[in-house]
């Protein structure tokens, strides 16, 4: 059995489709999304509807929350977000807003005697960054009562072991911060009593997305991030 975990699509439908095409080649059994379906990218409705149609298990992200509640407390209050929050809120269909409002903050699963917990930021806050080797990550894992914690939010994938517990950041599908414009996601493989992880990178036509953003007169800095993987 295997499970794919994705996060931070951020309105980038082309990236999301590329990741699912990659999953089909790998015969993935099921998919979980760690939120932030919207924000930054040009296709928020397309992304939400794609996830809904695929019946993907999903949780709410901090940017999703900022958009649906029109509240900057979930995200950084800067010039980029001052553009994207109202733009995305206006663009989203009401049925898709209601879907985002219905999402849980976390998911817990028991597989092969392992407790798996899925969050967007951390177990403590939807917008806490669990950067690799950070004090926040160390403190979170000290308190964590499961076996494997999956998070997104930082857009940079990594695996870190804390004694018997494991922290997995799955990176970002639609807004890379890896220094390259690729998508990233993680495959979890369950073989008897063992669990292994494959960190996957997927190429896609990011220039097509950038052209769409340019036509919509999105901020240049946000377009450049899609091209370079650097924020």
Q: Return the CATH architecture of domain 2-228.
A: 4-Layer Sandwich (3.60)
In this prediction, residue 192 carries a pLDDT of 80
CA distances, 218 to each of 61, 82, 225 (Å): 22, 12, 12
Cβ-proximal residues to 27 (8 Å cutoff; 6+ apart), any chain: 2
Longest dimension (CA), the chain: 51
DSSP strand pairing (57-58 vs 107-111): unpaired
* pLDDT score recorded for residue 5: 99
21 φ/ψ angles, rounded to the nearest 5 degrees: -65, -40
Closest to 56 (Cα-Cα) out of 11, 112, 99: 99
Using alpha carbons, list the distances in angstroms from residue 4 to 22, 62, 187, 225.
11, 21, 4, 25
pLDDT tens-place values along the chain, 231 residues long: 999 999 999 999 999 999 999 999 999 999 999 999 999 999 999 999 999 999 999 999 999 999 999 999 999 999 999 999 999 999 999 999 999 999 999 999 999 899 999 999 999 999 999 999 999 999 999 999 999 999 999 999 999 999 999 999 999 999 999 999 999 999 999 988 789 999 999 999 999 999 999 999 999 999 999 999 999
Closest CA to 57 of 15, 29, 85: 29
Query: Tell me, what's the pLDDT at 188?
Result: 98
CA-nearest of 143, 162, 152, 144 to 183 is 152
Provide the token pair at 150: 């999956």
């Amino acid at each position: 059995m295997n499970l794919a975990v994705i996060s931070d699509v951020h309105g980038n439908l082309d990236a999301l489709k590329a990741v699912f095409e990659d999953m089909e080649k790998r015969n993935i059994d099921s998919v979980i999304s760690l939120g932030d379906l919207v924000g930054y990218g040009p296709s928020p409705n397309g992304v939400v509807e794609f996830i809904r149609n695929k019946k993907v298990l999903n949780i709410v992200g901090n940017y999703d929350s900022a958009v649906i509640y029109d509240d900057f407390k979930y995200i950084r209050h800067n010039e980029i977000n001052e553009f994207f929050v109202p733009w995305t809120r206006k663009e989203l269909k009401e049925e898709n807003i209601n879907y985002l409002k219905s999402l849980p903050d976390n998911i817990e699963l028991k597989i092969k005697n392992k407790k798996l917990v899925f969050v967007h930021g951390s177990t403590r806050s939807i917008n806490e960054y669990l950067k690799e080797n950070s004090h926040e990550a160390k403190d979170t894992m000290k308190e964590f009562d499961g076996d494997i914690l999956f998070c997104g939010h930082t857009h940079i994938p990594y695996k870190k072991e804390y004694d018997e517990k494991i922290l997995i950041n799955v990176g970002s599908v639609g807004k890379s911060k890896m220094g390259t414009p690729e998508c990233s996601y993680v495959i979890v493989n369950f073989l008897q009593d063992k669990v292994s992880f494959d960190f996957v990178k997927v190429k896609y036509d990011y220039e097509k997305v950038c052209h769409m953003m340019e036509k919509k007169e999105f901020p240049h800095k946000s377009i450049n991030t899609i091209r370079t993987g650097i924020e």
